Chains A and B, each alone.
Chain A
Amino acid sequence: MAHTIVSTDNRLALRRNTKKKLSKTAQNLLILVTMIVVLLPFYVAIVYSFRSPSDITVNRLSWPDNPTLINYYNVIFNNDSFLTGYKNSIINTIPTVVILMVFTSMAAWVLARHDTPFYRVMYAILTLGLLIPFQCFELPLYINWYNAGLVSTNIGFIIARAGLQISISLTAITGFIKTVPRDLEDAASIDGCNRFQCFWRVVFPLMTPINVTQLVLNTLFIWNDYSTSIILLRKKESYTLTLAQIVYFNENTSMLNEAFAFFILAMIPILILYLSMQKYIVSGITAGAVKG
């Protein structure tokens, strides 16, 4: 009697297990299909970029018969807007993310460590940027930048883009500092280091994880920026890659293969950054989520 009960139990468990395995396989298959659909646009871009201009295949999804690098060669060596765009994107992005890191980490430390009405109001004002859409002040910003001679300049873009990113960075860094115990700072100030020394020697190194996260995320947002660039960068010499590629696309619909090569080349730095720094991007995004 007891024996039979155990064996049916076993058989039930076995059946449950097979069912579980089957549904797991179905799930993985579904994920795999989703991944293929998600990657499809990248595949289409790559296929176009490797196709020679004379290659007219009926099936546009198939891999080109004679893949060629000529499109890449032409974009790199015979296209002014590409090199100018690259130069501007690099010149604009690096100082912006560095300024943001230095400025917002200093401010966030003060705001996270004090809980009086004054600092709470300061925090509320500095994070207003999360609520106000850019459209609401693009006109005054453009007018002020124009009057100051900052339109279509790298420095003008850097100032504006850093200012626009403050609210997001500040929220993330303040949230992080609140989780760091302040014992070390207290110990350091007892040891007699002044405020600046205390910050740069003790606090700033403790903030490395959030600072790296912010560097990577801000690089992503600023490299890909379109809405600020189109308002503030009005001359061709000042175009960033994002602007240059959309203009190039609209002006050269006949040279589609080159346009796609342009595209892939513009994406490569971001792709390398994403794949090597993925951990930081994920933690940066989810850190905000847990807080809600």
Chain B
Amino acid sequence: MVKKMNPPRLSRQSTRIHRGNLLFLLPTVVLFTIVVLIPFIQGIPYSFTNWKSIVSVDREFNGLNNYKYLLTNKYFLESLGVTFKYTILYMLSANIMGLILALMIHRSSWFNNIARTVLFLPFTVSVTAGAIVWSYVYTDVYTYLTGLVSPLGMPGQIVYGMVIIGAWRDMGYTMLIYIAGLQAVPQDYYEAATVDGASKWQQFWRITIPNIVPAFTTNITLLLAWGLRTFDLPMAVARNAREGQFTAVYVYDSIFSNNKAGLGQAAAIILTVILLILTQGVTRFLRRLEVEA
């Protein structure tokens, strides 16, 4: 951290600099206010109305009715279930795969560098494109080799089919973050441990894992947030399957297809609250581990 105290300045000069700073902030603040802040605040009252079609302006305040309806609505609760199931499985598999790959290729060599390039490649393709190609990988390769039906075509397996696509895309990302974490572990820790007679296994649990907790924090919270707001993936390959209906898709359909704008907005707010509580809670918990380690 390079932090220096500001040298004391004359008050007239410091107000002038302050105004200069505001000018530098202004474009970003204006853009952010128009695109994110105003719509965010505007959306809260919408969720307490019976607003139906977005092409009309008719809407009346109906209190907590949307929220009450959603919390007992089978489709909405199912969409939350699908979202949670996907998020947990996707977060775990992308992290485990990313960590294993990082452990194997975190040292630099020509082979490892090529492997990193290849393993990160799926992240650069759009989710929708990747998912559509995967639907053909399932029917052409998976079905051809095993004789089983594509998981995207089976209601009970559709979430697993999507977890594989999600992990395929994002394990390269978690891998890069784990590699950065592994490379930052001081090499002499291992040398000292070897001198003391610690086995490779002990070294892994006592040195490697505690030293890469910050990488765990980043990867777990990031993938948790990505998982909960998953939208592109089901839009591409599970559009018509109820078992593949995510909350983000429920929100989109309510607002833009089913003429239930107020209800959709309330569903979006529930999703936001869940996301905030979960990611903040998990971050706090992991940060405490970082301090201990």
Contact = CB atoms under 8 A, between A and B. Distances in A.
Interface of A: 27-28, 30-31, 34-35, 38-42, 44-45, 48, 59-61, 99, 102-104, 106-107, 109-111, 114-115, 119, 122, 125-126, 128-129, 131-144, 159-160, 162-164, 166-167, 170, 178-182, 195, 199, 220, 223-227, 230-231, 242, 245-246, 249, 260, 263, 266-267, 270-271, 273-275, 278, 281-282, 285-286, 288-290, 292
Given A44-B133, A60-B144, A137-B43, A270 B115 contact: no
Top 7 A-B residue pairs of the complex, sorted by shortest distance between their CB atoms:
A163-B35, A286-B180, A224-B126, A140-B39, A137-B39, A107-B28, A292-B214
B229 A134 contact: yes
Interface of B: 1-4, 17, 20-21, 24-25, 27-29, 31-32, 34-40, 42-43, 46, 54, 101, 104-105, 111, 115-122, 124-130, 132-134, 136-137, 140-141, 144, 168, 172-173, 176-177, 179-181, 184, 214-215, 217-219, 225, 228-229, 231-232, 235-236, 247-248, 251-252, 255-256, 261, 264-265, 268-269, 271-272, 275-276, 279, 290
Contact of A290 (B104, B115, B120, B214): B214
Contacts of A164: 35-36
Contacts of A220: 124
A263 B133 CA distance: 9
B271 A166 contact: no
A274 B54 contact: no
Contacts of B252: 135, 138, 230-231
B118 A38 contact: yes
Nearest to B1: A178
Interface of B is mostly: helix
A31 B279 contact: no
Contacts of A60: 140-141, 144
B35 A160 contact: yes
A189 to B, nearest CB: 9
B3 to A, nearest CB: 7
| Of A122, A163, A179, A289, most B-chain CB atoms within 10 Å | A289
A138 to B, nearest CB: 7
| Of A35, A139, A275, A281, most B-chain CB atoms within 10 Å | A139
Given A44-B133, A61-B141, A133-B268, 16 more contacts: A35-B118, A40-B137, A44-B141, A60-B141, A129-B36, A131-B275, A131-B279, A135-B247, A138-B255, A142-B54, A163-B34, A227-B248, A230-B235, A271-B124, A274-B121, A292-B214
B173 to A, nearest CB: 7
B213 to A, nearest CB: 9
Contact of B17 (A59, A137, A195): A195
Contact of B144 (A42, A59, A109, A114): A59
10 contacts: A35-B115, A35-B119, A111-B25, A133-B268, A133-B275, A135-B252, A140-B39, A166-B35, A227-B232, A263-B129
A267 to B, nearest CB: 6
Contact of A115 (B3, B31, B176, B261): B3
Contacts of B118: 35, 38-39
Nearest to A104: B28
A128 B21 CA distance: 21
Contact of A31 (B105, B117, B231, B248): B105
Given A132-B36, A136-B272, A290-B180, A28 B25 contact: no
Contact of B2 (A143, A179, A260): A179
Contacts of A104: 28
Nearest to B118: A35
A41 B2 contact: no
B29 A122 contact: yes
A286 B36 contact: no
B28 A41 contact: no
A126 B28 contact: yes
B54 A139 contact: yes
A180 B91 CA distance: 34
Given A30-B104, A115-B3, A136-B268, A270 B137 contact: no
Nearest to A292: B214
A217 to B, nearest CB: 10
Contacts of A28: 111
Contact of B43 (A139, A230, A273): A139
